[in-house]
Amino acid sequence: MNFNRLLIVPIGLSVGALNTSNAKAQTVLNSEASLSRNTPAEQVLVWGTQVRASSIELDEEAITIKQADHISDLLRTIPGVDVGGAHSLNQRITIRSMDDKDLRISIDGANQNSYMYHHMGNLHINADILSSVDVEVGTNSVVNGGLGGAVRFETKSAKQLLEFDNAFGGRVQLTTSDNSGASVALTGYGQLSDSLDLVVYHNSVDRDNYDVGGGEILDFSGNVIPGTDGQVRGLEGQLDDTLLKLGFDISASQRIELGYESYTDQGDYSYRPDMGLATDLAITNSLGVPLLWDTELSRDTLTMNYDVDLDSHSIKLAVFNSESELKRDETGWAQNAAFSSSAALVSGRAENVGANLLVESELESHLLTYGAEIIDYDTSYAAAYQAGGVDVAGEGAKNIALFLQDRISLSNRFALIPGIRYNSYDIDSAVINRSFSDTTLALAGEFQASDNVIFKLSATELFKGPEIGEVFTGAGLFDAENAGIEAESGVNSEFSIAFQDSMFGADSFGVGVTVFDTQLDNYIYDYATQPPSIGEGTWKDNIGDMTIQGLEAYVSYEVNNLSMLLTFSDAKSELSAFTPYADLENARLDRTQGDTVSLNLDYRLEAFNLELHWDALAVGSVASGVDLDGATSDNAKDGFTVHNISARWRPENFDGFELTVGVDNLFDEFYASQSSRTGLSFHPRFGELYLLDYEPGRNLKATLAYRF
């Protein structure tokens, strides 16, 4: 670690949301629009989800009224962020082409990173239960670990939901659609005493198999796949999400919240939830085994959050236990005698136990942010075979970090933000049993040139030790040892400028640009081809140094009842390969997305208590090229444009009632997110495999909600 390096690299965007003192430097994008500009604040976000991001900088403004049934509905507006995976098991957040393994993801402070299955994502949460989402696009502060950024989800609490002086309240929500399923959500909340409050929430979702855009399941050549009818099989299932959260106000400045969330997703699902129906059919027909498999994913999370808010100090402490389990009945392998030995009941479990402490102290011209975190990872795998015998395995790791950051206000216009973080990582896995440690530094500067213009610069060193193995394929049972593997390190450097004022006839006009450069040294690839001197399979190894460069930009415009947000993002990745992996030279990250433009328009018809919304997402194509873990025959990615519209009505004489209707994928586009599986591979047994993870076609949705 070289401190001088921090002084000479181009340095960029802010040090994260915790250090943002200027309100214009904090993005707040609400997934629920307000009734009007004169509506009391207590009502504006009574059921909305606030989405804050560091890649765009706007005052708080409601911009969407989507009926979010997937995390992508909340996050795809944010430049630099996408959510791949159309299956409910595969909500996979990517930031600047880095997938969720390289991000820090938490729910109510509980770490969620658990590499359960490479055909699934790390995140399992229902969008409706969320009160806020904070997204750090890129790692710009020693406060956050990880390589690519952080996503912090917070669930709803009674304190947020209670209106005015009401002691109790509730909400009923019914949602139906013609191409994705239906759901019922019930919520009760109340002030049990002067200091005690409780919220109980349950959402039950019946997911259907959906039709793709155009109503035809096509292969790579554009031909209809025989035996298909336009509907994607392997999606139909039941999702239940229950939250209980008890809050206790110890005093006016101290609060403790105890939470328990139970999330279950069960159905007859496809074997590979991240791959499209074309691939599942090709493999299933070749092997003579079932297309659908009885699968259950569950997550149980216990949290304790303690908050202290004093005049010049604030303390946030979270203690958690989050356990995820994936079970699948694989006795269907016995349908083909050649694979009967593989017939088994298989389960994998991942448990994250830990605590994180965050303290902020204001001391004259200094704003100190400091704290610690500890996370203990534990995984286990079991396969009980019908033919007899059991495979069991398990791995573990522990991460400890201490950090200190100081925002030094050198004048009313300029602040300097240095930071230091100590990382200690112990891993006991089939690949390696070793301890790693590193001290990383950060340096940032923020200059407010005027009341309307702010410049930010930063450089943050990065560190991440090798991960424990994928849980559901054996928790290390089949992994090759690599005692020489090293931790990943690097630097994320950013520059940004943001401007906001009332001009061009607008009540508010804003524009901002962020340019970034991320250098990842000793990049780890899970499926590197072993050198001949080691073996003939694949293993986890450092394959080279990865560079990711790009930009994010936005323009916002608000006038009277109209608001507009236009965003653009681009990220390019390139590997400088080590000699043993020369065939991967210039390889890009598989989750790379083409140039992306999003447009959101919202308009309020106050005379009718009606809000209208339209958004469009246009993603450019990506040419074929060497990549990591992508399609092997043709990994080019088709561009696409998707439009969504919605409207919400709150009748003036029926307080608490609201009706929302909308159409997703208005023009029935046939597409897949470029952060999902795409492209054509060739397998010597199965032949051509079209990996496209088909997104749903046109979907008419309606939500009826009543709050009392």
d(CA 615, CA 602): 9
| pLDDT for the residue numbered 144 | 87
DSSP line for 604-660: EEGGGTEEEEEEEEEE--B----EESS-SSB--B--EEEEEEEEEE--TTSTTEEEE
CATH of the domain at 258: 2.40.170.20
| pLDDT for the residue numbered 163 | 76
Categorize the per-residue pLDDT at 368 as very low, low, confident or very high, splitting at 50, 70 and 90.
very high
Note the pLDDT tens digit of each residue in 220-255: 999 999 999 999 999 999 999 999 999 999 999 999
| pLDDT for the residue numbered 47 | 67
Q: Is the pLDDT of residue 310 over 80?
A: yes
Q: Which two tokens stand for residue 447?
A: 């200059």
Counting Cα atoms < 13 Å in the Cβ hemisphere of 258 gives 5
Per the structure, the count of domains in the chain is 1
Segments forming the whole domain that contains residue 430: 3-707
Q: Is the pLDDT of residue 100 over 70?
A: yes
Contact indicator for 299, 324 with CB cutoff of 8 Å:
yes
Q: Is the pLDDT of residue 39 over 70?
A: no
Categorize the per-residue pLDDT at 56 as very low, low, confident or very high, splitting at 50, 70 and 90.
low
Q: Which comes out higher in pLDDT, residue 394 or 127?
A: 394
Q: How far is CA 159 from CA 256, 318, 325, 409, in A?
A: 12, 18, 31, 34
- Looking at every residue in the chain, the average pLDDT score rounds to 89
| pLDDT for the residue numbered 73 | 79
Q: pTM for the complete prediction? A: 0.90
Q: Is the pLDDT of residue 299 over 60?
A: yes
Categorize the per-residue pLDDT at 40 as very low, low, confident or very high, splitting at 50, 70 and 90.
very low
Q: Is the pLDDT of residue 315 over 80?
A: yes
> What radius of gyration, in Å, describes the C-alpha atoms of the chain?
25
Note the pLDDT tens digit of each residue in 245-284: 999 999 999 999 999 999 999 999 999 999 999 999 999 9
Contact indicator for 694, 280 with CB cutoff of 8 Å:
no
At residue 486, the 3 state secondary structure works out as: coil
Note the pLDDT tens digit of each residue in 328-337: 999 999 999 9
| pLDDT for the residue numbered 54 | 77
Contact indicator for 12, 516 with CB cutoff of 8 Å:
yes
Give the pairing type, strands 453-464 and 433-448: antiparallel
| pLDDT for the residue numbered 608 | 93
Q: Residues near 253 by Cβ (< 8 Å), separated by ≥ 6?
A: 308, 309, 310
Q: Is the pLDDT of residue 13 over 70?
A: no
Note the pLDDT tens digit of each residue in 160-172: 888 777 899 999 9
Beta bridge mates, 89: none
Q: Which comes out higher in pLDDT, residue 595 or 24?
A: 595
Categorize the per-residue pLDDT at 370 as very low, low, confident or very high, splitting at 50, 70 and 90.
very high
Contact indicator for 318, 356 with CB cutoff of 8 Å:
yes
Q: Which comes out higher in pLDDT, residue 7 or 270?
A: 270
Mean pLDDT, rounded, for 304-317? 96
Note the pLDDT tens digit of each residue in 130-168: 888 899 999 999 998 889 999 999 999 998 888 777 899
Mean pLDDT, rounded, for 345-372? 97
Mean pLDDT, rounded, for 607-611? 93
Lowest mean pLDDT among 101-115, 219-233, 516-530, 639-653: 101-115
Q: Which of 16, 23, 50, 51 is nearest to 136 (CA)?
A: 16
Mean pLDDT, rounded, for 667-688? 94
| pLDDT for the residue numbered 576 | 98
Give the pairing type, strands 196-207 and 237-251: antiparallel
Lowest mean pLDDT among 37-41, 288-292, 461-465: 37-41
Question: How far is residue 36 CA from its own chain's centroid?
Answer: 30
Note the pLDDT tens digit of each residue in 185-194: 999 999 999 9
Categorize the per-residue pLDDT at 55 as very low, low, confident or very high, splitting at 50, 70 and 90.
low
Q: Which two tokens stand for residue 16?
A: 């994260």
Question: Quick one: CA dihedral 275, 279, 280, 284, positive or negative?
Answer: negative
Mean pLDDT, rounded, for 421-431? 97
How big is the CA angle at 222 (ends 217 and 223), to the nearest 5 degrees? 65
Mean pLDDT, rounded, for 600-623? 94
Q: Which two tokens stand for residue 48?
A: 């909305």
